[in-house]
Amino acid sequence: MPELPEVETTVRGLARYLEGERLTRVVVNRPDLRRPFPADLMQAMTGAVVTGLDRRAKYGLLHTDRGRTLIFHLGMSGRWRIDPERPDRHDHLVLHTDDHIFALNDARRFGSVDLVDRAILDAWPPFAAMGPEPLGELLTPGHLHAATRGRKTAIKGVLLDQRIVAGLGNIYVCEALFRSGISPRRQAGKVSRAAFARLVPAIRDVLHQSIADGGSTLRDYARPDGQLGYFATRFDVYGREGEPCHRCEGTIRRIVQGGRSSWFCPQCQK
DNA sequence: CGTGTGCCCTGACAGC
DNA sequence: TGCTGTCAGGGCACAC
């Protein structure tokens, strides 16, 4: 379930093995995920040295000494398998260094791989339109307040809009709204400044806690079976329909908004 | 422009 | 043991 914390954990895990290493072999088993891989992917990456890794929203960035950056998105089911014991039919792209093997595995194939000049990364169309990072200082209550004035649509959907804030997914929007006492159904334009002042730290806290958890299981992430270290603490609302609220005597409900599930406590969240 | 819908693809799981 | 239906971390192309 790659949301921002999982991408962050993945990037950190890859960095431990890849930073400063030369890619000795690049194998493309299937040349497309959501869209075709860059035609020159193999040529561009074979022999390149990985100079560093980064994350932008839910994208992972793999910088090379050739001035080009490989950008991956894990979609719904993507993950990197380090030193897999055996190949898997969904290992679409495989990178080799002298000491390790890294397989980009994505069963549902909603992910992507792109190659962009590092100098113009910010102008890459998916990045150019993005709002601030949820963990960066540009995400403020004032930003969300200004961005939502006059919007009649529900706050839930606005928070999933990467142009408003870049990197939140369904799980953490649900969890952050619960923590800040805001109903996912609330009209975005009617959410008060005070409510946003609760929401911003709630977003930061839940993401930081999840990243810390991913970090604590980094050892597991690097296991040959490729298990990722997901947010292991119990969610307050996500996936908990019909179960008791952790804060009151109420029961968690599930509704569908924009074709996706929202879980919330009708008593705690107004 | 803002808003809502449907689709991309495969696998896991529940229920019969 | 199988079948069938439902649902899933995301993002984008469309239609109004």
Render pLDDT for A92-143 as a digit per residue (tens, 0 to 9).
999 999 999 999 999 999 999 999 999 999 999 999 999 999 999 999 999 9
Query: Structural domain of residue A199, as residue ranges?
Result: 141-264
Confirm if A22 and A48 have CB atoms less than 8 A apart: yes
Would you state the pLDDT for residue A213? 80
Say if pTM beats, i.e. exceeds, 0.75. yes
Question: How high is the pLDDT of residue A184?
Answer: 96
Q: What is the C-alpha R_g of chain A?
A: 20
Q: Which of residues 106-125 of A touch strand B (CB under 7 A)?
A: 107-110
Instruction: Calculate what percentage of chain A has a pLDDT beyond 70.
Output: 93
Which region among A213-217, A226-230, A249-253 has the lowest average model confidence (pLDDT)?
A226-230
A60 with A25, same domain?
Answer: yes
Q: What does the pLDDT read at residue A221? A: 46
CATH of the domain at A256: 1.10.8.50
The protein footprint on chain C, as nucleotides within 7 A of a CB, is 7-12
Whether A76 CB is under 7 Å from strand C: yes
Mark whether A156 and A206 lie in a shared domain: yes
Angle at alpha carbon of residue A237, lines to A168 and A109, rounded to 5°? 45
Q: Which residues of A are catalytic?
A: 2-3, 58, 260
Flag whether A75 is in a domain.
yes
The answer to whether some atom of strand B lies closer than 7 Å to the beta carbon of A34 is yes
Spatial distance from the CA of A268 to the C1' of B14 (Å): 31
pLDDT at A228 over 60: no
Whether the pLDDT of residue A223 is over 50: the answer is no
| DSSP-assigned states of every residue in chain A | --SHHHHHHHHHHHHHHHTT-B--EEEESSSBSSSBPPTTHHHHHTT-BEEEEEEETTEEEEEETTSEEEEEE-TTTEEEEES-SS--TTEEEEEE-SS-EEEEEESS---EEEEEEGGGGGGSHHHHT----TTSTT--HHHHHHHHTT--SBHHHHHH-TTTSSS--HHHHHHHHHHHT--TTSBGGG--HHHHHHHHHHHHHHHHHHHHHHHHTHHHHTSTT-------SPPSSTT-TTSBPSSSS-B-EEEEETTEEEEE-TTT--
pLDDT tens digits for range A20-52:
999 999 999 999 999 999 999 999 999 999 999
Q: Are residues A10 and A122 in the same domain?
A: yes
Q: In terms of Cα–Cα distance, which of A95, A98, A132 is closest to A113?
A: A95
Q: Total structural domains in chain A?
A: 2
Nearest nucleotide by C1' position to the A163 CA atom: C11
Q: Which two tokens stand for residue A246?
A: 């952790």
pLDDT band, residue A212 (cuts 50/70/90): confident
Same domain for A122 and A151, yes or no, is no
**Three-class DSSP labels, A172-224:** HHHHHHHHHCCCCCCEHHHCCHHHHHHHHHHHHHHHHHHHHHHHHCHHHHCCC
- pLDDT for A1 equals 59
Of all nucleotides, the one whose C1′ comes closest to residue A154's CA is B3
Residues A42 and A121 in one domain: yes
Same domain, A203 and A122: no
Q: At A222, is the pLDDT very low, low, confident or very high (cuts 50, 70, 90)? A: very low
End-to-end CA distance of chain A: 28
Contact A170, A260 (CB under 8 A): yes
CA proximity to A184, closest of A145, A203, A156: A156
* A126 CB contact with strand C at below 7 Å: yes
> Do the domain assignments include residue A136?
no
When mean pLDDT is compared over A210-214, A232-236, A259-263, the highest value belongs to A259-263
At A214, the pLDDT band (50, 70, 90 cuts) reads: confident
Of the pLDDT bands very low, low, confident and very high (cuts 50, 70, 90), residue A233 is low
Determine the distance between A249 (CA) and B1 (C1') in angstroms: 43
Do residue A54 and residue A17 come from a single domain? yes
pLDDT tens profile A172-183: 999 999 999 999
CB A245 within 8 A of CB A268: yes
Q: What is the CATH number of the domain that holds A57?
A: 3.20.190.10
Average pLDDT over residues A210-214: 83
**A256 plus A178 within the same structural domain:** yes
Separation in Å: B5 C1' and A259 CA: 8
Across chain A, what does the average pLDDT equal? 91
- Domain edge (last residue) among A63, A94, A128: A128
